[in-house]
Amino acid sequence: DALELADGETISAASMASYFNAQFDKLTNANVVATAQTRLLSDEIDATKSLTINGVTIGHSATAKLNEIIQSINAVSGQTGVRAEWNTESGLALTNTIGNEGANIVVGGDPVTALGIVPGTYSGTYTIGAAGEEVLSNPFASDTDALNGGAGFALTLTRADNTAATVNIAGGDDTVSGIVAAINDTSSGISGINATLVSDADGFRISLHDQTGVGNDFTISTDISAYNLDANGDPDADLGFNDLNNRNTGLNKPTEISLTLSGTGSPSDLGRLGFATGVIFDGPVKDDFAIFMTGSGSATATLRADPAAKSEGSSYPADTFEVNFQSDSVYTITDSATDTVVATRTYAPGDAIEYQGIRVEFNDIPKQGDSFAIEPNAEGMGNNENMLRLINLGKEPIISGQTFSAAYRDLVAGTGSRAHLAELSRDAMEVVRDQAQENREAAVGVNLDEEAADLIRFQQAYQAAAQVIQISQRMFDTLIQAS
């Protein structure tokens, strides 16, 4: 539906959020929600000044302190729909009360009010955001067919923290539409849950969505007795809400939303509604822009460029363009392909002209009427295309997924590593060799010092034995002579 404002009607963040939420309901899209808030900051108060909020006079003394000003504002919140809270040691913040979120705050009083701000209507902000996926029921062939034979039943929603809320479906209202209405009932329904009737190729479904920010981690149970009986005569008591297949169906997810201007609308109207309007180039664009305006009146254009995520090399050859000197100090750049003047610039003798990555310098000073055509070197002579190709070739991963420099670096590093490992292996084998030689010598070798000591010992033993024999011989001879 179109958004229309009557003459003199003031728009607010609350009215915008209400409009969009109504459209989302008509689109049966429960997962997109518009919220609004108004927050007005005051950095310094002056109690000697007067103050009205939304037409209600705020009574305070000329010597009132910040806390007393806040108390006075909150004392009439029921009339103004606005409450105050501390913001800094010397300031406060005005916000909407519950149920008035996003409503404009009209401040009045002295030319500079007690809040230190001028009188006027202060609007808030509204936000359109995705609120998460819904919890879906089984598909139903009709939204008006009785599910429990016309009898009433109770439906209970149990959250992850085991808190539960129950809604009673009256007899005769045991239909898909009746369940949706009962859950959404402001007095007897389930608070914080929005139920929506959605349709798909299989029929109608009930979509449940949490609006409290807690999340959709809940289960559904009922005491229904006649719905979708199985072979044992047991009903499908959760209506399919707890079925993971239904939860993963993904119906009613946030989709792209478009706003269409009527024949009398203009982009500036979207600006008044808080939308940024403009021409957006999604991706790299040329260096120079030509902006053409039609119609009458004045307009302001703002250009903004975000840095590229990755530096891209210049594309050669550049597009053909012409430089035409309109005077000795002014020249234009014309795109030859479209015959469009894309830039008008001033010129001072000695300046260089840069466009599309091309730099043009003059040996002589150009004059009015001079024209220069800058074109690619079609003959391929005397340019640096081959050098650029070699540079680009050095950046290509053509050696096992590596560039030339990376492959050479790995080759040098690998050779050094292998040489170092060879040296370590050699040193280790020399140690093994030395140990083997020592073990061999210990097993079969002769120690000359030990052998010499043994010979001396054996010699001394022999000499001692000879002395014993000699003395024995002498004793034997003496005994014979004596006899």
Three-state SS for 376-445 is: CCCCCCCCCHHHHHHHHHHHCCCECCECHHHHHHHHHHHHHHHHHHHHHHHHHHHHHHHHHHHHHHHHHC
Q: Which two tokens stand for residue 396?
A: 């290509």
pTM (whole model) above 0.75:
no
pLDDT in tens, 87-114: 877 789 999 998 899 999 999 999 999 9
For range 276-290, the mean pLDDT: 66
Would the pLDDT of 380 be above 70? no
Whether 312 shows a pLDDT value over 60: the answer reads no
Looking at per-residue pLDDT, the higher value among 438 and 157 belongs to 157
Whether 289 shows a pLDDT value over 70: the answer reads no
- pLDDT bin (cut points 50, 70, 90) of residue 237 is confident
In this predicted model, what pLDDT tens digit does every residue of 52-89 receive, in sequence order? 999 999 999 999 998 899 999 999 999 999 999 988 77
Residue 210 has pLDDT above 60, yes or no: yes
What is the percent of the chain with per-residue pLDDT over 70, rounded to a whole number? 85
Q: What was the pLDDT predicted at 185? A: 92
Output the pLDDT for position 87. Answer: 83
DSSP classification of residue 253: -
Region 402-422: mean pLDDT is 87
pLDDT over 90, % of the chain: 28
| Contact by Cβ (8 Å): 216, 133 | yes
Tell me the C-alpha distance between 306 and 145, whole Å. 56
| Model pLDDT, residue 378 | 67
What is the C-alpha separation between 346 and 335, in angstroms, rounded? Answer: 18
More confident residue, 431 or 449: 431
Q: What are phi and psi of 478, to 5 degrees?
A: -65, -40
Q: How far is CA 133 from CA 23, 30, 125, 258, in A?
A: 18, 9, 25, 21
Distance of alpha carbon 370 from alpha carbon 328, whole angstroms: 9
| Residue with the larger pLDDT of the pair 282 and 426 | 426
Confidence of residue 157 (pLDDT cuts 50, 70, 90): very high
Binning pLDDT at 50, 70 and 90, where does residue 28 land?
Answer: low
Confidence check: pLDDT of 314 > 80: no
Output the pLDDT for position 114.
92
**CA–CA distance from 113 to each of 45, 119, 126, 476 (Å)?**
8, 7, 26, 153
Q: Pick 270 or 100 by higher pLDDT.
A: 100
Predicted pLDDT of residue 253: 53
pLDDT confidence band for 211 (50 / 70 / 90): confident
pLDDT tens digits for range 168-181: 999 999 999 999 99
